[in-house]
Amino acid sequence: MKCPYCGNADTQVVDSRTSGDHGDAVRRRRQCGACHKRFTTYEQVELSFPAVVKKNGARVEYKRSKLLGSLNLALRKRPVTSEQIDQAIARIEEKLIGLAQREVTSDTIGQWVMAELKQLDPVAYIRFASVYNSFEDLQSFADAIGDFLKPAKRGRAQGNAQGTAQEKAQDKVQDRAQDKTQDKA
Ligand SMILES: [Zn+2]
């Protein structure tokens, strides 16, 4: 790190501390070995999000502002705080990074958004789901609402990532029971 005052390359770190909202930045005090002036540097962890592949196959950069826009639209005039929205976005971003993939489909993100809205606010969930799924008929819309009203089916509706092992096990048992019934019929 060059000294910003005299350009000398010999600078030493005299103090380091973490900073930033999530402790993901490091603040360092440095001192120049030539002019002895002190200056501060910040190091930020660079998080890399996967590219988003849209339904038409186009690849776009992940943008937090776009995700926030979708959530705000679904949650407009609903009793949900901006802090809750921020937390929902943070959880979605954790999942994005957790994928450790170069690409993610917009469909996958849409499912995660629906899972978050389901927890936050039923009206916002239905708003988002109705646009996102572009329900073709009244029945599919009714199914989505019914899905929301049956907590037992939540695990499956939100995708396996959200379902607990117990819920999955219950689903399997139910599937087997249905199979048996069908065999008898
Ligand atoms: Zn200097």
Spell out the SS3 assignment of 116-177. Answer: HHHHHCHHHHHHHHHHHCCCCCHHHHHHHHHHHHCHHHHHHHCCCCCCCHHHHHHHHHHHHH
pLDDT for res 21: 61
pLDDT for res 175: 46
pLDDT for res 15: 86
**Cβ neighbours of residue 116 closer than 8 Å, sequence gap 6 or more:** 71, 88, 91, 92
Distance 12 CA to ligand 1 centre (A): 11
Distance 40 CA to ligand 1 centre (A): 13
**pLDDT string in tens for the chain (185-residue length):** 889 999 999 999 888 887 766 566 788 899 999 999 999 988 776 668 899 999 899 999 898 889 999 999 999 999 999 899 989 999 999 899 888 889 999 989 999 999 999 999 999 998 888 877 765 566 666 676 676 666 554 444 444 444 444 444 444 444 444 444 445 44
pLDDT for res 166: 47
Distance 31 CA to ligand 1 centre (A): 8
Distance 151 CA to ligand 1 centre (A): 64
pLDDT for res 31: 95
The distance of Cα 77 from the centroid of its chain, to the nearest Å, equals 22
Distance 38 CA to ligand 1 centre (A): 8
Distance 32 CA to ligand 1 centre (A): 5
Distance 16 CA to ligand 1 centre (A): 19
pLDDT for res 84: 93
